[in-house]
Every structure is written in structure tokens, then in C-alpha cells.
């Protein structure tokens, strides 16, 4: 029930932003873009601070790191592979389909052509690499800055999760404004088959790939599936498994899903520019309705907001049921 309420609150902030934009209470698009970028930096700094300020994680990294990292990497590879396969049979998952269907598709296509011609005139590969790496490196710097400050300062007594939660709400409010200003069709987005195809491909790919953990680490199928079944929701999946009687595996699940979220932050800006931009949603898993949603929108475009939110919401709703179920399999 609590998870449903949290989902509802997030959706209400997104809808409230769209309503304000419709009532002409939103700033101009250029200013709104700057505001979203600044709030995103604040959010990532806060996430880094929470990681650095959590002293309990320090002693766990050495023993759990290998299993957690393997879980995260396999989850991302599996979800990406399944999304690529789905893009060949589900209409709308490849970039040209969105441009043809979007209300502002013509202007976006012209902008993309202009951007492509600029890159064609640029012969320096170093410059190209810098352009694509600039966004993830900037975001990673804010995470590291927050983690460094969190490690340096003593443990805080107030609820850091509540602070970052409010920042997320504010961010979704502004994203709702930007989505309305883009002129994209919300009704059309939800009627597209890819809205369900993306979370299904993400879930199936993640779970199937995690089975490779069985021979690598000699763990059961149930535990392997439970580790990846958090889909990036580290705070819930770790607690669920720990409460089921396995604190060690719960700690691994926490770290594995945390690593998945961190890797997603690095990969989304690159995947959002590919021929299959829905890969940017797939790697984020359950986080695409909140934490990674702003970055996905920035890297791909406002049209992907409903796809991202629905995918993250459905995966998040599945976590409280799938993780205990898989863990119960042994």
C-alpha cells in the first residue's frame, strides 16, 4: 500500500507540472531546461552524499563487491539484449518511428540533421568523444563530490531519504512542465505497444541473465533471481531479502542494485542517442520513474517521459512480489 501511495505522489507531481504549463505558469523552455539541469545536479549530489555517509557499507565492499558487480552487469546486459530483440518486432521502439509519430517530429528531424551535419564537419574523434562523455562525466563528478563530503562529515541524524525524495518531486514537477511544452501526445504514448514492451523486455532480460550467477558463484536459481529482481530498487530489495532471513544476501542485493543505478547514470546519455533510444529506459529498470527519469528525458527527449515513468512504475510494483517469491524458491 505504501509503495502505491509513493507512485501516486510521483505521478501527481508530474501531472501538476503539466497543468501549470497548460495554464501558462511555466517559465520559458530555455529557462526550464536550465532549472531541470540544476535540480538534477542537486539530486545526484544528494545521492552521493547518502552513499558516502553510510558507514555500514565500507566493511561490506570487499566481500560482496564481486557478486554485486556481476549481478549488476548481467542485469544490464540482459535487459539491453532483450530490448534490442523486442525492437525488431514491436513498433515504435526505434528512433525513426518516434520522429514520424511525434507531433513535433519534423522540427526534431531537422534539428537532428543539423546536428549530424555539424558532426560530419568535425573530423576530430577526440572532440566527438568529449561531446558524448561530457554529460555522464559531469553527473559522475556531482556523485563523487557528494560521496566525498558524506565520507568526510560525521553521520547525519536526519532522514536523507526524505530530502532526496522532495528533490525528486520538484524535479518531476518541472519535467511535467517540459513534457507539456514539447507538444508530445500523452494519450498516444500510452496507447503505443512499446509502453508495455519496454518493462516486459527489461524484466525478462534481467531475470534470465541473472541465472548465469548460478555456475559462477554456486548459488541457487532462486537467490540469483532474487538478487536481480530488485530492478535497481536497492533500498527495497535489500531490506526484503534481509527480513526474509539472509542479511548477507540482502546486503549484496542492496549493493548490486545500487551499482546498477550508478551504471545506468553513465550509460543513459550514450544509449539515448542510439537507434534504439528505449535502451536508455531499459538499463534504468525500476529507477526510470524517478531517479533516472530526468536524465533519460534530457538524453532522449520529452516524448519518452510516459514510457519511462510507466516502465519504472510497473517494475517497482513488481519488486515487492517477485523478490520474496524468488527467494522462497531457495
pLDDT for 204 beyond 90? yes
pLDDT for 283 beyond 60? yes
Closest CA to 238 of 259, 215, 218: 259
CB atoms within 10 A of CB 110: 10
CB 44 within 8 A of CB 143: yes
pLDDT for 71 beyond 80? yes
pTM of the predicted model as reported, rounded to 2 decimal places: 0.68
DSSP H or E segment with residue 137: helix 125-152
Lowest mean pLDDT of 132-146, 178-192, 203-217, 281-295, name the range. Answer: 178-192
Structural domain containing residue 202: 2-328
Distance (Å, rounded) from C-alpha 139 to C-alpha 40? 9
pLDDT band at 112 (very low <50, low <70, confident <90, very high): very low
**Residue with more model confidence, 124 or 154:** 154
pLDDT band at 119 (very low <50, low <70, confident <90, very high): very low
**Residue with more model confidence, 74 or 137:** 74
How many domains does one find in the chain? 1
pLDDT for 186 beyond 70? no
Distance (Å, rounded) from C-alpha 221 to C-alpha 56? 28
Predicted local confidence at residue 290, as pLDDT: 77
Per-residue model confidence as pLDDT tens digits over 20-66: 998 988 888 889 888 888 888 887 788 778 778 877 767 666 777 88
Predicted local confidence at residue 223, as pLDDT: 94
Per-residue model confidence as pLDDT tens digits over 3-16: 566 667 777 888 89
Closest CA to 314 of 80, 4, 14: 4
pLDDT band at 107 (very low <50, low <70, confident <90, very high): very low
Predicted local confidence at residue 226, as pLDDT: 94
Predicted local confidence at residue 303, as pLDDT: 82
Q: Please, what is the average pLDDT of the chain? A: 79
**Residue with more model confidence, 266 or 70:** 70
pLDDT for 105 beyond 70? no
**Residue with more model confidence, 320 or 62:** 320
CB atoms within 10 A of CB 41: 17
pLDDT for 114 beyond 70? no
Distance (Å, rounded) from C-alpha 293 to C-alpha 298? 9
Predicted local confidence at residue 127, as pLDDT: 52
Amino acid at each position: 500500500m505504501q509503495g502505491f501511495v509513493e507512485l501516486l505522489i510521483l505521478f501527481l507531481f508530474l501531472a501538476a507540472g503539466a497543468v501549470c504549463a497548460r495554464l501558462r505558469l511555466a517559465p520559458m523552455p530555455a529557462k526550464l531546461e536550465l532549472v531541470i539541469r540544476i535540480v538534477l545536479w542537486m539530486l545526484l549530489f544528494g545521492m552521493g552524499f547518502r552513499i558516502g555517509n553510510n558507514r555500514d557499507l565500507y566493511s561490506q565492499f570487499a566481500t560482496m563487491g564481486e557478486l554485486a558487480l556481476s549481478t549488476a552487469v548481467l542485469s544490464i546486459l540482459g535487459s539491453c539484449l532483450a530490448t534490442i530483440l523486442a525492437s525488431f518486432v514491436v513498433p515504435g521502439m526505434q528512433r525513426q518511428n518516434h520522429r514520424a509519430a511525434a507531433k513535433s517530429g519534423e522540427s526534431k528531424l531537422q534539428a537532428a540533421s543539423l546536428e549530424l551535419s555539424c558532426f560530419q564537419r568535425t573530423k576530430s574523434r577526440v572532440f566527438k568523444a568529449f561531446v558524448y562523455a561530457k554529460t555522464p562525466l559531469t553527473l559522475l563528478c556531482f556523485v563523487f563530490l557528494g560521496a566525498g563530503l558524506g565520507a568526510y562529515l560525521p553521520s547525519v541524524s536526519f532522514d536523507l531519504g526524505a530530502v532526496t525524495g522532495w528533490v525528486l518531486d520538484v524535479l518531476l514537477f518541472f519535467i511535467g512542465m517540459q513534457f507539456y511544452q514539447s507538444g508530445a501526445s500523452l494519450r498516444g504514448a500510452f496507447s503505443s505497444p512499446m509502453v508495455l514492451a519496454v518493462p516486459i523486455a527489461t524484466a525478462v532480460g534481467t531475470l534470465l541473465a541473472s541465472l548465469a550467477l548460478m555456475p559462477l558463484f554456486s548459488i541457487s536459481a532462486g537467490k540469483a533471481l532474487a538478487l536481480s529482481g530488485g530492478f535497481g530498487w536497492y533500498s527495497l530489495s535489500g531490506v526484503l531479502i534481509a527480513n526474509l532471513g539472509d542479511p548477507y544476501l540482502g546486503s549484496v542485493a542492496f549493493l548490486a542494485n545500487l551499482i546498477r543505478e550508478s551504471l545506468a547514470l553513465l550509460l543513459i546519455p550514450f544509449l539515448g542517442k542510439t537507434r534504439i533510444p528505449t535502451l536508455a529506459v531499459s538499463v534504468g529498470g525500476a529507477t526510470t520513474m524517478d531517479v533516472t527519469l530526468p536524465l533519460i528525458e534530457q538524453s532522449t527527449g520529452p516524448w519518452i517521459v510516459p514510457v519511462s515513468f510507466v516502465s519504472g512504475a510497473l517494475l517497482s510494483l513488481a519488486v515487492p512480489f517477485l523478490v520474496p517469491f524468488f527467494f522462497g524458491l531457495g
